[in-house]
Every structure is written in structure tokens, then in C-alpha cells.
């Protein structure tokens, strides 16, 4: 509707349906043009052919001066304008029904109504905007306020009060005066809510209809808060805060951030439903379907929050927060801006009338001055294994894939998020594939494509966890179950796992996270090392900060890369990296598991920072036999081993579960294999590869 109005405004006067609006425009322009002595462009002297098509002639028609001769003198034009002003001021100008209804609901005075219409028309009506430009450039906020006062017919003091940052119009988000470049036009200084004029011309306008016009509709149904048990720490912080904010407290802002698809919006919906509050999501498009600029969305947010505060208790949702708060880099010599300006953004956060949940993926570019003004900031990580398994079953069951092995593969992918599972399910349903296995393959391929696009690893292969995790096949120098119980009881620990590759160090850390019901944050050397000086240390600090914000299990593989002995270090940065890691470890109060294959390279000072050092050894003879027997049983084969086969296994000193997993990967290329084939393959791999060239790593060596 707003664009239609704007087009009509550019076509002659264009306000035949709204005589009250045309009368106001005439009154405002006559006052301003006469007061600023900027009416002279309306005098063209002896105008030639085509005069009726000129902008000045169209302006004369808008001002009620079309009866003037086209070559009327300046004195005649001035006299006619003064007469038109007296006649317009004497006439009674009706109000707009929609504006009157809205004003009664949000308590706008008569002056505020006039300024509201003035600003809306200044932004949307082309010919009116051109008339304002005749009045000259506006250099500062005071001049913008003064010129508005002249046109509307109020005092400068009244205009200053109506347009102040703390005024009703500004607080609601309807009209604000925003700083512009030196010498801008008045319409540039006046900023309004998106498509404001179109809404004001709606005769059925009310606070409810205006609110609805700025809300996003649709979306997935609200989940139960019980679906987010893995985020109990976030719920425990956010729920009481949002509940108390519903009592009318200003400036309550909750920030949920994390990778796309982790369920941030779904969590906000679940919180609102649990509290019995409406969730109002600020729209990303206008009434015509065009994308709103970040500034427009910010004003829509302020309007939604204000209107919501005067109705049913509600929580406002603002998605893609980084698009609004992203810094805008200016030209050299100019000041950088954040959103609508740091001052506006700070005021928005501190004065917003309803509780707001802000959703973002990355917050690295948000100014710290803004971040510190959030009431609460919580990272929403990918869900832990148990939750992934439940979500996988939830999305696969409608596809006829309940209890399919694909569920287990999804559960083992540490970085998989609910949004990807839902998208792959929708795509597979649309494909309407009849065969069950073909449908499962299609789902896996769609999911792998999405993962690849996001730079993540594909789903683990079917056989990747054929051995699973079984403490019977772990040869550690302590009681791992007792250790897990102690860690769970205390909620904090720093554990160093040492041992040869494939002995189960990382697998035990994953098992620890599974038992404790915590997400696993996995980092490797490649995730932290950076060629730029000081950046590796920064990545370390960020790693611990992220783990500190979540009740997770932090796993650092290849920790010897950062804890290498400082004796004999050749470069300063080698020492600073170790110092940073030691400092962060000492300050960390969560659960930290570090693994290394090279204990002899670890700095002596590092050992004092760990609560327990656990050594993982290769399988002993009885474990090797039991492992092969279990594999045969899982394959439905006879479990008995012949004497030659037993002797071969007994020779494999130093064999690890990772070695056996690598052998199974190769055997899957063969159609059939028996006990003799398995044992011979294990023996050949053990003898041929030696102890330093081992392809399998851990219990869950990649099999895909």
C-alpha cells in the first residue's frame, strides 16, 4: 500500500481520495516557503511551451495556485500564496480515522499526530519532498527541528519536545531525527518506521493492525521446553529473566548465538510458550515483500516492542542480529558507524519497552560497547549425541526410516545441527522416493551435501562404530568408570590422556561427554594454529572462553603442539604459546581433556596443571582375543578361533583397537570373510605397517 501512495504522490497532487492530506501538504508547504522566502522557483517569468509539464507548475497546482497566469509576476505569485495560506488556515481540516484510532491507543497528542503525518509524507510523497527541498539544506538537528516547527505551525520548543530522543514518537519508533551529512535535505533528517504512510492511510488502522504489519508470520511449530534439556543451563538463566521482564521492565535483552541451525529460534519459541507469552518476531520484509534494511528493522523492533508492552505479555524476537550491529566502514577521515549509530543502538538496548531475544550466528563483529549492554548472552552449541539421536529418529520416522542405521550415523556426527536434519527431511519428503533404502540413501546424500557446503565432514560411514566404545577393550592405568563418576560429581577436571594412536584416548573423551550428557567441543592443532603473531594465543583463549560458557567437555587433540617443552625453544612465539596454554588451563574450571601421543615432548610445568594423567596402552593378549571374538559374533559367524589363529593374535603385541578398525575398513571391500581372513589381515597389518604408520585413530576411525 505504501508504494501505491508514493506513486500517487508523484503524479500531480495524487491525493484526491484524501483531501485532508492534500490540505495539510498545502498548508505546510505554504508556511515553509513563505517563512524561508524560498518560493521564488515558482516564478518562471515568460514560461514557454511545455510549462504545464514543469515541476514548478505541478507545485503551483499542489499549492492551489494553478489559476495564476503562467507568466505571472513575482509580486502576484507572492500575494496569491499569502491568500492561499490564509484560506487554508481558515478551513477545517479533518483528521484521518486510522491515525485518530492509533493515537488514542498509544496516547499521541494533536501536535504529535501532525508531526507524525508530516514526517511520513516527507519520506513518501515525492512532490511534497521536493517542496521541502526548495526551503534549503539542513545542516544540523536544531535546523531540522526548527524547519519542522515552521511548517507544522508549532513553536520551536514544542517541536524539540516532540522530536527529542525520549519523546513518545521516538520511543515508539515512529519518528526520529537522525544525524546526516552536512547540507542534507529535511526529509533525510526525518526517519520513520518502514512504510509508515501506507499504514497511516489505512482507515482501519489500530495498534493491533500496525503491530501485525511488522511481524514475521509462519515458522515451525513451537517445541516443548523439555526438548532442550541439554540447554538446561541456558534455560535456568533466561527463563526467570524473561518472566520478570514481562512486568514492564525496560532494557531486557537476551542474546542467543551459535552456528546456524542449532535451534536458537526454536528455544525462544519454547521459552515464550512455557511462560504463556506471545513471541513476536520482527519482520524481515515490508508489506510489498521487499527486504527491509537493517535500519528499518531496528525501527520496526522499537515499534513492535512498544506496542507489545501495551498489550498481552510478549517477547520480541529479532533474528540475524549481526546484520544490524555490523560495523559500517567509512571512508578515510570519517567515523565508523554501527547500525544506526552507536548512540542509537545503545539507547535501543537500554530503553526497549519489551523483553527482546536477539538471535545471531557470529558476534565477532559486534562492538564490545554494545555486547556488554545485553542482559544475558548465551552460546547455543550443536546438541550432544543423545539429543542428535532423538532428533534423527524424530525426522526419520515420518519418512518410514524409524530404527534405520542412519540414525546411529547421524548421532555420531559431532557438528550436526537440528536445522540441517529438518531441511534434509523436507527435501527427502518432496522427492517422494518409494524404496526405503533408496530413500535413506537420498536423505544421507542431501545431508552430506549441506554439510559439505558448510565446510563440515560428511556423515560417518556405516561401519565406523562397528566396535563402538567398550571399556573391556581399553587398557588404561586407572579405573575409568570411577574416574568418570568423580568428574561428574565435581563438575570439573583437567585430564591428560597419553598413549599410542588408536588406544582410545579421544574415544574415551567422547564417551565421557555422552555419560555426562554434555556437548563435546573438539579442537585440534589445525583449529588453533595461526601464522600471524599472537593469533594462536587468541584462538586458545577463545577456545577456553567458549567452553567456559557451556557445560561441555572440552577435548584438545594433539595437545603437545601447544605444551611442547620450552627448553631449547628457538623462537619467542613458541614460548608464548606454551605460556598462554598453561595460563588458560590453570584458570579453567570446566572439564578439559587433552590427548597426546608424545608424552616425552610435553613441558614439565604442564603436568602440574592436570588433575590426572591417564595412560592408555595397547590391547593385552586376552583383550585381542575377546575383541576378535566379538567382531565375529557381530557378523553372525562362528566365534571359535583355531590354534594357528590364536597364535597369530598372540604375537600382535602393541595392537590397538584403532588398528583393528583400519583392518575392518579394508575387509568391507570383500564380499565375504571368515575368522581366518580377519586374523590374517590383522596380523599382516600389524607386521607390515609397524608401530609408527597407523592409519586408524581411536575406536571410531573414519570408515566412510
What would the 3-class secondary structure string for 634-686 be?
HCCCCCCCCHHHHHHHHHCCCCCHHHHHHHHHHHCCCCCCCHHHHHHHHHHHH
Give the pLDDT mean for 91-114.
89
DSSP class of 40: G
> What are the cell numbers at 39?
518560493
Please tell me what DSSP assigns to residue 147: H
Position of cell 504529535?
A: 112
Give the mean model confidence (pLDDT) for residues 261-275: 92
Contacts of 453 (CB under 8 A, 6+ apart): none
How many secondary structure helices (H) and strands (E) does the chain include? 33, 15
Residue-level pLDDT at 703 = 31
pLDDT of residue 628: 86
pLDDT in tens, 324-343: 776 544 333 433 444 456 77
In contact, 24 and 117? CB cutoff 8 Å: yes
- Mean pLDDT score, 64-75: 80
Q: 132-141, 520-529, 558-567: which range is least confident on average?
A: 558-567
84, 30 Cβ separation under 8 angstroms: yes
Give the contacts of 49 (CB within 8 A, at least 6 positions apart): none
Judge whether 271 and 224 are in contact, CB under 8 Å. Answer: no
Arithmetic mean of pLDDT over the chain: 83
* Least confident span in 33-47, 84-98, 164-178, 325-339: 325-339
Rounded distance, CA 232 to CA 186, Å? 51
* Mean pLDDT confidence for 56-75: 80
The answer to which of 272-276, 475-479, 515-519 has the lowest mean pLDDT is: 515-519
pLDDT (mean) for 20-39? 89
CA distance 390 to 429: 19
- Give the HSE-up count for residue 231: Cα atoms under 13 Å, Cβ half-sphere: 27
pLDDT computed for residue 3 by the predictor: 44
Calculate the alpha carbon distances from 130 to 19, 135, 184, 669 in Å.
20, 9, 13, 77
Residue 563's pLDDT is 82
And the C-alpha cell for 463? Answer: 561401519
Element (H, E) at 593: strand 591-596
Helix/strand/coil percent split, the chain, to 5: 55, 10, 35
How far does the chain reach from its first CA to its final CA, in angstroms? Answer: 55
Q: Is the pLDDT of residue 620 over 60?
A: yes
Q: What is the spatial distance between Cα 522 and Cα 508, in angstroms, rounded to a whole number?
A: 13
Distance between CA atoms of residues 36 and 150, nearest Å:
9
Q: d(Cα 249, Cα 231) in Å, to the nearest integer?
A: 25
pLDDT at res. 50: 52
pLDDT of residue 704: 28
Residue 426's φ and ψ, nearest 5 degrees, are: -65, -45
Q: Which three cell numbers stand for residue 21?
A: 492530506
The second-level CATH assignment, the architecture, of 214-329+339-379 is: 3-Layer(aba) Sandwich (3.40)
Burial class (CB in 10 A: 0-12, 13-18, 19+), 463: middle
- For residue 546, the Cα-to-chain-centroid distance in whole angstroms is 16
Question: Residue 232: pLDDT above 80?
Answer: yes
Question: pLDDT-based confidence at 569, cuts 50/70/90?
Answer: low
User: Looking at domain 477-616, which CATH architecture does it have?
Assistant: 3-Layer(aba) Sandwich (3.40)
- Mean pLDDT for 144-148 is 94
pLDDT band at 275 (very low <50, low <70, confident <90, very high): very high
Cα 616 from Cα 504, distance rounded (Å): 7
Q: Residue 66 pLDDT > 90, yes or no?
A: no
Q: How much is the pLDDT for 424?
A: 95
Do the beta carbons of residue 87 and residue 58 sit within 8 Å? no
Query: What does the alpha-carbon distance between residue 195 and residue 286 come to, in Å, rounded to a whole number?
Result: 7
Q: What's the pLDDT score for residue 610? A: 92
User: Between β-strands 553-556 and 591-596, what pairing exists: parallel, antiparallel or unpaired?
Assistant: parallel
Mapping DSSP to helix (H, G, I), strand (E, B) and coil, where does residue 555 land? strand
Cα(267)–Cα(227) distance, rounded to whole angstroms?
Answer: 9
- pLDDT level of residue 478 (50, 70, 90 thresholds): very high
Nearest to 252 by CA among 353, 131, 136, 107: 353
pLDDT value, residue 465: 46
Q: What is the pLDDT of residue 44?
A: 53
Tell me how far apart the alpha carbons of residues 106 and 169 are, in angstroms, rounded to a whole number: 10
Can you tell me the mean pLDDT for 186-203?
89
Q: What is the pLDDT of residue 76?
A: 87
CA atoms within 13 A on the CB side of 466: 26
Identify the helix (H) or strand (E) that includes residue 633.
helix 621-634
Residue 649 to residue 676: CA distance in whole angstroms: 11
Split at pLDDT 50, 70, 90, the class of 575 is confident
Q: Cβ(305)–Cβ(356) under 8 Å?
A: yes
Per-residue model confidence (pLDDT) at position 462: 60
Instruction: Tell which wins on pLDDT, 523 or 323.
Output: 523
Give the number of residues written for the chain. 704
On the question of pLDDT at 558 being above 60, the answer is: yes
Amino acid at each position: 500500500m505504501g508504494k501505491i501512495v508514493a506513486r500517487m504522490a508523484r503524479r500531480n497532487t495524487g491525493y484526491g481520495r484524501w483531501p485532508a492530506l492534500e490540505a495539510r501538504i498545502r498548508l505546510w508547504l505554504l508556511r515553509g516557503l513563505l517563512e524561508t522566502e524560498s518560493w521564488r522557483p515558482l516564478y518562471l517569468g515568460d514560461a514557454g511551451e511545455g510549462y504545464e509539464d514543469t515541476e514548478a507548475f505541478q507545485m503551483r497546482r499542489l499549492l492551489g495556485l494553478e489559476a495564476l497566469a503562467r507568466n505571472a509576476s513575482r509580486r502576484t505569485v507572492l500575494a496569491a500564496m499569502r491568500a492561499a495560506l490564509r484560506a487554508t488556515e481558515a478551513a477545517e481540516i479533518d483528521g484521518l480515522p486510522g491515525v485518530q484510532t492509533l493515537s488514542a491507543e498509544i496516547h499521541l497528542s494533536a501536535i504529535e499526530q501532525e508531526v507524525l503525518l508530516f514526517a511520513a509524507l516527507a519520506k513518501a510523497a515525492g512532490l511534497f519532498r521536493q517542496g521541502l527541498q526548495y526551503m534549503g539544506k539542513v545542516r544540523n538537528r536544531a535546523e531540522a527541528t526548527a524547519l519542522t516547527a515552521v511548517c507544522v505551525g508549532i513553536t520551536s520548543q514544542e517541536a524539540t519536545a516532540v522530536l527529542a530522543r525520549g519523546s513518545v514518537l521516538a520511543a515508539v519508533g515512529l519518528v526520529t531525527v537522525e544525524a546526516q551529512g552536512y547540507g542534507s535535505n529535511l526529509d533525510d533528517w526525518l526517519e520513520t518506521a518502514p512504510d509508515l504512510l501506507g499504514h497511516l492511510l489505512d482507515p482501519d488502522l489500530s495498534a493491533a493492525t500496525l503491530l501485525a504489519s511488522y511481524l514475521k508470520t509462519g515458522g515451525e511449530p513451537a517445541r516443548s521446553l523439555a526438548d532442550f534439556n541439554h540447554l538446561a543451563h541456558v534455560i535456568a538463566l533466561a527463563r526467570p529473566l524473561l518472566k520478570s521482564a514481562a512486568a514492564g521492565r525496560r532494557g531486557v535483552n537476551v542474546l542467543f548465538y551459535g552456528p546456524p541451525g542449532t535451534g536458537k529460534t526454536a528455544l525462544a519459541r519454547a521459552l515464550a510458550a512455557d511462560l504463556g507469552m506471545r513471541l513476536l518476531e520482527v519482520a524481515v520484509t515490508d508489506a510489498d515483500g521487499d527486504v527491509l534494511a537493517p535500519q528499518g528493522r531496528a525501527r520496526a523492533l522499537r515499534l513492535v516492542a512498544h506496542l507489545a508492552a501495551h498489550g498481552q505479555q510478549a517477547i520480541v524476537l529479532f533474528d540475524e542480529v549481526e546484520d544490524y550491529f555490523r560495523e559500517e566502514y567509512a571512508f578515510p577521515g570519517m567515523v565508523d558507524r554501527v547500525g544506526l549509530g552507536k548512540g542509537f543502538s545503545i539507547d535501543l538496548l537500554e530503553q526497549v519497552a519489551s523483553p527482546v531475544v536477539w538471535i545471531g550466528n557470529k558476534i565477532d563483529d559486534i562492538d564490545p560497547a554494545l555486547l556488554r549492554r545485553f542482559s544475558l548472552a548465551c552460546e547455543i552449541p550443536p546438541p550432544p549425541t543423545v539429543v542428535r539421536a532423538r532428533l534423527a529418529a524424530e525426522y526419520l520416522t515420518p519418512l518410514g526410516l524409524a530404527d534405520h542405521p542412519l540414525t546411529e550415523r547421524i548421532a555420531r556426527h559431532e557438528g550436526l545441527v537440528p536445522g540441517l536434519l529438518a531441511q534434509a527431511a523436507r527435501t527427502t519428503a518432496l522427492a517422494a522416493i518409494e524404496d526405503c533404502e533408496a530413500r535413506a540413501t537420498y536423505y544421507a546424500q542431501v545431508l552430506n551435501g549441506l554439510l559439505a557446503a558448510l565446510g563440515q565432514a560428511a556423515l560417518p560411514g556405516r561401519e565406523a562404530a562397528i566396535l563402538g566404545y567398550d571399556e573391556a577393550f581399553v587398557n588404561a592405568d586407572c579405573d575409568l568408570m570411577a574416574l568418570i563418576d568423580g568428574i561428574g560429581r565435581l563438575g570439573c577436571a583437567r585430564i591428560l590422556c597419553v598413549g599410542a594412536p588408536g588406544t582410545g584416548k579421544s574415544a574415551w573423551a567422547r564417551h565421557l561427554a555422552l555419560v555426562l550428557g554434555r556437548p563435546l567441543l573438539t579442537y585440534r592443532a589445525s583449529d588453533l594454529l595461526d601464522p600471524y603473531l599472537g593469533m594462536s594465543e587468541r584462538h586458545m583463549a577463545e577456545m577456553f572462553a567458549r567452553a567456559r560458557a557451556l557445560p561441555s567437555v572440552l577435548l584438545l587433540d594433539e595437545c603437545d603442539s601447544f605444551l611442547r617443552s620450552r627448553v631449547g625453544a628457538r623462537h619467542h612465539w613458541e614460548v608464548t604459546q606454551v605460556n598462554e596454554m598453561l595460563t588458560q588451563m590453570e584458570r579453567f574450571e570446566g572439564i578439559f581433556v587433552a590427548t597426546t601421543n608424545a608424552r616425552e615432548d610435553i613441558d614439565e610445568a604442564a603436568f602440574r596443571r592436570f588433575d590426572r594423567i591417564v595412560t592408555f596402552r595397547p590391547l593385552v593378549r586376552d583383550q585381542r582375543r575377546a575383541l576378535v571374538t566379538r567382531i565375529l559374533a557381530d557378523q553372525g559367524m562362528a566365534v571359535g578361533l583355531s590354534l594357528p589363529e590364536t597364535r597369530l593374535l598372540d604375537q600382535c603385541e602393541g595392537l590397538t583397537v584403532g588398528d583393528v578398525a583400519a583392518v575392518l575398513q579394508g575387509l568391507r571391500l570383500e564380499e565375504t570373510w571368515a575368522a581366518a581372513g580377519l586374523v590374517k589381515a590383522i596380523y599382516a597389518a600389524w607386521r607390515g605397517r609397524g608401530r609408527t604408520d597407523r592409519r586408524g585413530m581411536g575406536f571410531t576411525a573414519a570408515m566412510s
